[in-house]
Amino acid sequence: MTADLVIDVRDLHKSYGTRKVVDGLTLAVKAGEICGFLGANGSGKTTTIRMLCGLVRPNGGGGTCLGLDIIRDAPRIRLQVGYMTQRFSFYEDLTVTENLDFVAAVYELDNRREAVKAIIDRMGLADRAGQLAGELSGGWKQRLALAACVLHKPKLLLLDEPTAGVDAKARREFWDLIHDMAADGLTVLVSTHYMDEAARCGRIVYLSDGKLVVQGTPDEVAKGSGLITFEATGPNLDVAARTLRKMPGVESAAVFGSALHIAGMDRAALERAIQSLDGGLAWHEVPPQLEDVFIHLLSQPDRPHA
């Protein structure tokens, strides 16, 4: 049963001084899965990813990654894992090709030149191959970083906020590439703050203060939250949102295009809030969106979920 678990870690702890960054995290990721890693800034996502590839030693707990012990076998795990750091960490004074060639050589790939050429073609980097990495825009840098991570054909990709600060089109293309690679059997653990990206994951894991708060498919997480959401259309939505936000029981009220969303845990309170408005808005209940759920989770980090 554990055979098809690519990541299988239990009760991981990591603290810096007295601050507990990761506090009893248990995580299991199946082969071929795209697992989204969500949580507020400082919730322990980066530290967890670093522990998985042996860059940070856990203070407690342990487990396996690709069937190898994350403490004892860290060097062997690194050979089979592609890790893309949050900050661009390739050499800005080297060209795209030179960076990739360096990575290929460090992994001692046979047919280095062919491997580099193949990845350049696959990632659509051919036009930029001779450009210095420091001169690339954010989207291209991130593509180069992804290319470098998958060059040695890893079995597991660990991506730490790979699309931060990248435009929508580049993000879309990046995720197409990730799905493309997952189709080939690659397992992906990716941390993100974007809800549209979370929705594209097979499973999402939400961290808060170094603890796992909720996990499941995006649908399960949305439904399991117990959150009730109403949507309204009509005039002056911004004014209505401002009024509703102050009402008891309304956890969030936000305008999306031509619709106003309000969410809360208490149905009666929400309905009272709606009725107290002057009207003119057409209300109906909608299934909770991931975004609503995460804003709900972010606003009450101490509340443990089942």
Partner 1 sequence: MNGFSFRRFLAVLRKEWIQVRRDPFTLRMIIALPVMQLFLFGYAINADPKHLPTGLLAVDHSKYERTVIAALKNTGYYDIRPLDSEAEAERGLADGELLFVVNIPPNFDRSVDRGEQPAILMDADATDPSAIGNAAAALAALTSALDRDLPPAARSAPARAPFQFEVHARYNPEQLTVLNIVPGLICIVLTISTLFVTTLSITRETERGTMENLLAMPVRPIEVMLAKVVPYIVIGYAQVILIVAIAVAVFGLPVRGSVALLTLALGLFIASNLALGITFSTVARNQMQAIQMAQFTLLPSFLLSGFMFPFKGMPAWAQWAGELFPVTHALRIVRGILLKGNGFAEIAPDLWPIAVFTLAVTLVATWSYRVTLD
Cα–Cα distance for residue pair 294/40, rounded to 1 Å: 9
Q: What six digits make up the tokens of 109?
A: 């790939």
Taking CB under 8 A as the criterion, the residue among 10, 91, 180, 233 binding partner 1 is 91
262 binds partner 1 (CB under 8 A): no
Helix pair 112-122, 96-106: axis angle to 10 deg:
130
Dihedral angle, C-alpha 65, 68, 73, 76, nearest 10 °: -80
Window 25-54: residues binding partner 1 (CB under 8 A): 50, 53-54
Report in angstroms how near the CB of residue 174 gets to partner 1 at its nearest.
18
Q: Which is nearer to partner 1, 55 or 277 (CB)?
A: 55
17 binds partner 1 (CB under 8 A): no
Compute how many residues bind partner 1; rule: CB under 8 A: 29
83 binds partner 1 (CB under 8 A): yes
The interface region with partner 1, picked from 17-25, 87-95, 165-173, 227-235 by CB under 8 A, is 87-95
Q: What six digits make up the tokens of 196?
A: 């549209």
Cα–Cα distance for residue pair 296/227, rounded to 1 Å: 8
Q: Which is nearer to partner 1, 78 or 117 (CB)?
A: 78
Bridge partner list, 15: 20
127 binds partner 1 (CB under 8 A): no
Sheet holding 81-84, edge to edge: 81-84, 156-160, 187-191, 34-39, 203-208, 211-216
Strands (E), 197-298: 203-208, 211-216, 228-233, 252-256, 259-264, 282-286
The full length of the chain comes to 306
Q: Which is nearer to partner 1, 81 or 241 (CB)?
A: 81
The interface region with partner 1, picked from 27-35, 91-99, 239-247, 278-286 by CB under 8 A, is 91-99
Q: Which is nearer to partner 1, 55 or 182 (CB)?
A: 55
Window 99-118: residues binding partner 1 (CB under 8 A): 101-103, 105-108
Bridge partner list, 229: 263, 286
142 binds partner 1 (CB under 8 A): no
The interface region with partner 1, picked from 4-12, 70-78, 115-123, 247-255 by CB under 8 A, is 70-78
Cα–Cα distance for residue pair 262/244, rounded to 1 Å: 8
215 binds partner 1 (CB under 8 A): no
Q: Which residues bind partner 1 (CB under 8 A)?
A: 50, 53-57, 75-76, 78-79, 81, 83, 85, 87-94, 98, 101-103, 105-108
